[in-house]
Amino acid sequence: MQKKQPAPPPFGLYLNLSFFSYFDSTTPIITHITVKEKGMALWFCSARFLVFLFIVSALPIAYIISQERAKTDHHVFHYHSSGFFRECAKWDDQGRRFLVSFLEGGVGEIHVPQNYTPDVVLQEVTVVKDSDLTGNASNGIALDRPRNRLLLAVADVLGNRYSGLAAYDLSTWKRLFLTKLSGPGDEKSMADDVAVDADGNAYVTDVKGSKIWKVGVDGELLSTLTNPLFTPKEWYKSLLGLNGIVYHPDGYLIVIHTLSGNLFKIDLAKGDEVKLIEVAGGPLAFGDGLELISPTKLVVAAGNPSGRLVESTDGWETASVVAKFKGPMHRLATAATVKDGKVYLNHMFGMGYPRKTHALVEFVL
């Protein structure tokens, strides 16, 4: 009589190389191993494979080191920090410091002394770390100097279940307000960047839902701006929507859509009228942070090239890309700021361990 075969285990996992036909949670049952598979297994455990793995991993590391040590014809502020990711940076002239936001949550300051020399590596000091916002990222920041405060976009980056706007006193770092823009019961969103108008109203972009929240000077949520122009025809371009935003002194907003590269003008005096700005030499694909350096000139921090200079001569009805800047290839430009008439690009990733070194790179115009 043929011997009855045992029943298979309650669950199993099939491997691509078929080393095991199946196994349960306690005892693996090996059914067959081919000569070819045995040879592959031996190679993966061999010294040759370890050497190969070392070479493959060493190449990008060597490239990064060479890029870090390479001499440039532009100035770079280097600073040490406690984290790898710095989303946004803005220069505070009165405080002689850069203010930076932490993707892991929080805000830091980097003081630049009067006797600063380019070979000095500056130090970051944490000034904001709110326990009730743990798990949320600190994204775009805006300085509201007339009211001596910093505005900060806060968001749940991974789950998109929370977005908010926080305001802090620039002298004491006391939190002035925290406005909830969306929560778990709302559609997924991610507050990304913020701009402030002459009256102290804040405008916060939602990179997930492509809308703009308007928050009053005292922290009250006033309105939400949506528009069909914010939604590209291609569905995949909606994965990263409205991002960098600035307020123009003539009373309108300029905002960029990341994946489409579209630049929009929003006229606040005309009922939040939205127009697509026709950009020659565009579109500005992967555009991130914006910085208005004059009424007619705008810097766009992007992927590669790291930055673009855009100019308009007709009140931002149309514009042209007039200059491009190629910064460090191994870093990612996410924001722009102006210090003493020079534009500096913030880069997301820090290098090194245990002390991470970040770079604020001059955009040579």
Instruction: Give, for 67, the enclosing helix (H) or strand (E).
Output: helix 47-69
Tell me the whole-structure pTM to 2 decimals: 0.81
Can you tell me the distance from the alpha carbon of 200 to that of 110, in angstroms, rounded to the nearest whole number? 25
Checking if the pLDDT of 2 tops 50, the result is no
pLDDT for 151 equals 98
Contact 111, 359 (CB under 8 A): no
Can you tell me the distance from the alpha carbon of 308 to that of 291, in angstroms, rounded to the nearest whole number? 11
Can you tell me the distance from the alpha carbon of 112 to that of 98, in angstroms, rounded to the nearest whole number? 8
The pLDDT tens digits for 146-200 are 999 999 999 999 999 999 999 999 999 999 999 999 999 999 999 999 999 999 9
Query: What token pair was written down for 203?
Result: 């405008």
Contact 15, 32 (CB under 8 A): no
**Strand order, beta sheet including 342-347:** 86-92, 97-102, 107-111, 122-128, 76-81, 356-363, 342-347, 333-339
Checking if the pLDDT of 15 tops 50, the result is no
Lowest mean pLDDT among 143-147, 200-204, 355-359: 355-359
Q: Which domains does the chain have, with CATH numbers?
A: 75-127+341-364 (no CATH), 130-226 (2.40.10.480)
Can you tell me the distance from the alpha carbon of 299 to that of 287, in angstroms, rounded to the nearest whole number? 10
